[in-house]
Chain A
Amino acid sequence: MVSTQYLFKKFKVGLKAMLSDKIGVLGISILLIIILLSAISPYIFPLQSRADPTQIFQPPSGENWLGTDHMGRDIWPQIANGGRGLLLLAFITASISVMIGIFLGTAAPLIGGKFDEILLFFADVWLTIPRFPLLVVLSGFFNLTSYVLALVLAILSWAGLFRSIRAEVLSLKEREYVEAAKMLDLSMIHVIFKEITPNMMPFIIMNFTLMMRHAIYAQVGLFFLGLLPLEVNWGVMLNIAWAQGAIYHPDALWFILAPAIAISLLILSLVWINRSLENLFNPVLRTDHDD
């Protein structure tokens, strides 16, 4: 059995190796800054709700760090507050889909037989569903609130995760400690969560960041198309900037550029973290980089 202390130690070793990877450090720093901003900005940079027609599309200045939008509101507080919803939803989506992926991906090869075959068949069929177009159609039918959207996104993307986790489990399944646990007649739940899952933690974390990236893409895309209820986030800012014709308005450059850069940075940070994790946990790749 793996103790928490052991996991913690492993985590520390991993963190140390990660800090030696510049790209990984950059990714983590960007993500931490965005998380920090999301946490403190409601108190430090409160949203300005009053429109000010005299201040429309002002360029960046000491007072308005990123200029003002089409209603004369300061853009910076919107950027500072606009990541929270996206991050939270991406986190929930990734959690749900990784949970589904772990559960089915470990259960299928352990139970084996028809169960495995049927699940695999369903996953193959599921993978042919065009996800984003389907999401667009669904959001036309239903009023997708953020939590429902998280659930829908997670369910839509279970198949890919299921297949990769299943493949990983198939190779772990033959290890002695799994055999031993089975011989001790420990329950399936025990084998899945105490024996197999801790040993593919790196793999799961990597998939988690990947999932978050997909969730952010899908969300921002839907927000940009104006298919989700409006709130303050970077995707909605893009949508409003677009709908207001800001993109064809040279003075409004910052209004559309600011959220676009923010989204790019968020996704880049996730990709970089993912890449450095991959280098960290995959020795084959590491030797690739060394020579």
Chain B
Amino acid sequence: MPSNPVDIYVNELISSHGISVEAARSRASALYALDLDMPVWRQYISYLGNLIQGNMGQSIRSPGVRVSTIIRARLPWTLFTVGSGLIISTILGIVLGTISAFKRDKWYEPIITGSASIISAIPDFLIGIFLIIFFGIITWFGMDRPLLPIQSMRGTHTMGLSIDDGFTYIRDIFAHGMFPIITYVLAQIGMWVLLMKGSTTSTLKKEYVKLAEARGLSNTKIMSKYVARNAFLPIATEFAMRMGFILGGSLIIEQLFVYEGLGLELLNAVHGRDYPVMQGILLIITACIVFSNLFAELIYGALDPRTRRGE
């Protein structure tokens, strides 16, 4: 392994403390709970064995701290920001997309669609940078300071506050999570608008909608039973798929806003060569994707009777 942290630790013990090689190795193996004399593949098997029991090992950078503890501390913040961003952007996107599908002759339709297509193309971290510049850096005309005190909004919450502070705490975590959430919303909303608009427009053209109109069904019934249900299919699948990438998509944004979530932890682990932490976080991210794919299949089966088998 390149720049193996255990080797570094062993070398350090030998050179700076004058300890013999064997003593240094036994110290390192006690510290990291590794048996250095085992071949690598046996170490890997024992890692897998521990993994099945939910033990992801210990961090190398901060010895003694279990990887699962680190993940448990970071995961809620990422889930909170990326999850809120996903939900808000989906709801707004569905609303705006439906409006632009039904009001295709109105003046504001090209504006909605146009801005949606531009904003959906810009990488999320650039949106974050633009937000920081717009709200936190530029002193707008007639003001004596930027719109928001961006430096004090870093991190996940103000030091010293905890869940016991009740409402103050909730307001605090929203104030700190605001920028990441807005970034996630803006980065995804364009895609939702375009998807919803496209799927509604194409559903409106379907023959069964025309037939329903010909049968003289009420407009509300056509909209809810015929259009909405079918137009919603691609949205539901996409939502479930996006849920999978909820954890992996947060790396750069968390670095940008110094938000101590899972993504930032992964970056720190990479910089510090903390292999167990890296492995643990990648594992969680992948598991999240696999479960959402399964969830997507289930949703699709529930929403679209045509895909059900053997009935």
| A interface with B by C-beta (< 8 Å) | 128-134, 136-137, 139-142, 213, 217, 220-221, 224-225, 227, 238, 242, 247-250, 253, 256-257, 260, 263-264, 267-268, 271-272, 275, 288
B123 touches A129 (CB 8 A): no
B270: interface (CB < 8 Å): yes
B288 CB to closest chain A CB (Å) equals 8
Question: A-facing mask of B283-300, CB < 8 A → 1, else 0?
Answer: 001100110010000000
A256 touches B122 (CB 8 A): no
B282 touches A268 (CB 8 A): no
- B1: nearest chain-A partner, CB-CB: A141
Distance in angstroms between the alpha carbons of A230 and B170 in the assembled complex: 41
A132 touches B249 (CB 8 A): yes
Distance in angstroms between the alpha carbons of A256 and B131 in the assembled complex: 12
B130 touches A260 (CB 8 A): yes
A130 touches B286 (CB 8 A): yes
- Given contacts A248-B151, A260-B129, is CB(A267)–CB(B121) below 8 Å? yes
> How many residues in B have their beta carbons less than 8 Å from beta carbons of A?
46
B282 touches A253 (CB 8 A): no
Which of chain B's residues have a CB closer than 8 A to the CB of A137? 266, 270, 278, 282
- Given contacts A220-B123, A224-B252, is CB(A247)–CB(B289) below 8 Å? no
Select B286's contact among A129, A132, A271, A275, beta carbons within 8 Å: A129
Q: What are 5 of the A-B contact pairs (CB < 8 Å)?
A: A128-B290, A130-B247, A133-B251, A260-B130, A264-B126
A250 touches B139 (CB 8 A): yes
- Near A by CB (< 8 A), chain B positions 71-106 give none
**Additional A-B contact list (9), CB under 8 Å, known A141-B1, A225-B252, A260-B126:** A137-B278, A217-B123, A225-B251, A250-B138, A253-B133, A260-B130, A267-B121, A268-B122, A288-B198
Which of chain B's residues have a CB closer than 8 A to the CB of A141? 1-2
Determine the main DSSP class of A at the interface with B.
Answer: helix
B133 touches A247 (CB 8 A): yes
B123 touches A221 (CB 8 A): yes
B230: interface (CB < 8 Å): no
- B137: nearest chain-A partner, CB-CB: A250
Which of chain A's residues have a CB closer than 8 A to the CB of B248? 130-133
Which of chain A's residues have a CB closer than 8 A to the CB of B137? 247-250, 253
Which of chain B's residues have a CB closer than 8 A to the CB of A248? 136-137, 150-151
- A220: nearest chain-B partner, CB-CB: B123
A133 touches B123 (CB 8 A): no
Select A133's contact among B2, B122, B285, beta carbons within 8 Å: B285
- B290: nearest chain-A partner, CB-CB: A128
Distance in angstroms between the alpha carbons of A173 and B248 in the assembled complex: 37
A268 touches B118 (CB 8 A): yes
Distance in angstroms between the alpha carbons of A257 and B132 in the assembled complex: 11
Select B285's contact among A130, A242, A253, beta carbons within 8 Å: A130
B11: interface (CB < 8 Å): no
- Given contacts A132-B248, A224-B125, is CB(A288)–CB(B202) below 8 Å? yes
- Near A by CB (< 8 A), chain B positions 210-250 give 244-245, 247-249
- B292: nearest chain-A partner, CB-CB: A128
Which of chain A's residues have a CB closer than 8 A to the CB of B130? 260
A140 touches B273 (CB 8 A): yes
B289 CB to closest chain A CB (Å) equals 5
- A291: nearest chain-B partner, CB-CB: B104
B13: interface (CB < 8 Å): no
A136 touches B266 (CB 8 A): yes
B68: interface (CB < 8 Å): no
Distance in angstroms between the alpha carbons of A132 and B252 in the assembled complex: 10
B26: interface (CB < 8 Å): no
Which of chain A's residues have a CB closer than 8 A to the CB of B247? 130
Select B132's contact among A213, A221, A247, A271, beta carbons within 8 Å: A247
